Amino acid sequence: MSSKMQSKCFIALLVLLSIFSCFEAQLQVGFYSKTCPSAETIVTQQVTQAFGSNPGIAPGLVRMHFHDCFVHGCDASVLIDSTTGNQAEKDSPINNPSLRGFEVIDAAKAALEAQCKGIVSCADILAFAARDSIALVKGPAYSVPSGRKDGRVSMMSDVGGNIPSPVMNVSALTTLFSLKGLTQDQMVTLSGAHTIGVSHCNIITTVDDRLYNFNGTNMPDPALNPSYVPQLQAACPKASTSTSSVVNMDPVTPAVFDNKYYSNVLVNKGLFTSDWTLRTNAATAAGLNANANNQAQWFNKFTAAIVKMGSIPLDAGAVGEIRTNCRVIN
């Protein structure tokens, strides 16, 4: 073979390899249709059953999927238990004790291992469970591309830099989301998930102290609607710096996945500084208005954005696996 031909062959090989690795990373709807046809139904059954006895698992699982995807990609790293040698993501103060729904994933995984051993990843179970949760609180239905692999790394120290903080301003939020491949408008769109669920009181009395001593002023945050302040203070008394009491994030329809989050934020009834700050930038404020005015359009944008979020890849070079127990690396 001439050296020219050799180099042509080499280039062809490289192209083939890159196409192959592309296909490998590509998630697809119905990934388990041949290998475990009831995979998604089994997850739906488990989530529906758990929701029946505790509706709080719906917001819990949506937030868990987000916290999974933003740290090392959507690889179920958030599900790993700490061991004597390793403090895992779930034990970061950002996740512990507020993240909830782990038992639902365990139950779904157990049912799936019984039916199709070693086939369905924990990361896919979590992505399906978040989708099912949104449907259960009357949000939009969407298909979840699957085929994720479970990661083999989970460190508490990786959480802080990757999960947004409730004190962040709009530029910091935009930068963080762009590092995850999400646009500023997708950040506004996904923030609408704060239409369901609760926050622990310590967030708004200590971390982002909007209720009693905002920025050292001994006063509530002036950016909070004055009629909302007593409502929040009643739910979160001054002494509630502990993580035991909670407050709804959407004061209007706390258990329904609707666009009320946006109308709330527009009248300064968003719970966190990170919600309010979306009013302070022309583009994000326009996004708030658009979503407040058109729920159907927001639903379309939301489903596209959560699918995008759900496809954040595992770190380059990391090798994934199908975990047997979602809490333990194989």
Ligand X SMILES: *[C@@H]1O[C@H](CO)[C@@H](O)[C@H](O)[C@H]1NC(C)=O
Interacting residues toward ligand X by CB under 6 A = 169, 171-172, 215
259 binds ligand HEM (CB under 6 A): no
196 binds ligand HEM (CB under 6 A): yes
Q: How many CA atoms lie within 13 A of 8 on its CB side?
A: 5
Looking at 31, 39, 47, 59, which residue binds ligand HEM (CB under 6 A)?
A: 59
Q: At what angle do helices 184-191 and 282-293 cross, to 10 degrees?
A: 40
65 as an active site residue: the answer is no
Query: Which residue out of 67, 72, 194, 200 is catalytically annotated?
Result: 67
Smallest distance from ligand HEM to CB 187, Å: 6
Smallest distance from ligand X to CB 264, Å: 20
Looking at 88, 108, 122, 198, which residue binds ligand HEM (CB under 6 A)?
A: 198
Hey, what are 108's tokens?
Answer: 């779904």
Smallest distance from ligand X to CB 280, Å: 8
Residue nearest to ligand HEM (CB): 197
Smallest distance from ligand X to CB 171, Å: 5
Hey, what are 47's tokens?
Answer: 């989530």
Residues 6+ apart with CB under 8 A from 233: 211, 212, 220
When the beta carbons of 65 and 109 are compared against ligand HEM, the nearer one is: 65
Q: Which of 163, 104, 131 is nearest to 257 (CA)?
A: 131
Q: Segment near ligand HEM (CB under 6 A), from 12-20, 28-36, 164-172, 221-229?
A: 164-172
60 binds ligand HEM (CB under 6 A): yes
When the beta carbons of 104 and 173 are compared against ligand X, the nearer one is: 173
Smallest distance from ligand HEM to CB 169, Å: 11
Q: Segment near ligand HEM (CB under 6 A), from 138-146, 192-200, 221-229, 254-262?
A: 192-200
Smallest distance from ligand X to CB 187, Å: 14
When the beta carbons of 49 and 171 are compared against ligand X, the nearer one is: 171
How far apart are alpha carbons 22 and 272 in whole angstroms? 39
How far apart are alpha carbons 208 and 205 in whole angstroms? 6
Partner touching 297 among ligand X, ligand HEM, none, CB below 5 to 8 Å by kind: none
159 binds ligand HEM (CB under 6 A): no
191 binds ligand HEM (CB under 6 A): yes
Query: Which residues between 65 and 124 bind ligand HEM (CB under 6 A)?
Result: 66, 98, 100
What are the catalytic residues? 67
Residues at the interface with ligand HEM (CB under 6 A): 56, 59-60, 62-63, 66, 98, 100, 164-166, 168, 173, 187, 190-191, 193-194, 196-200, 203, 272, 274
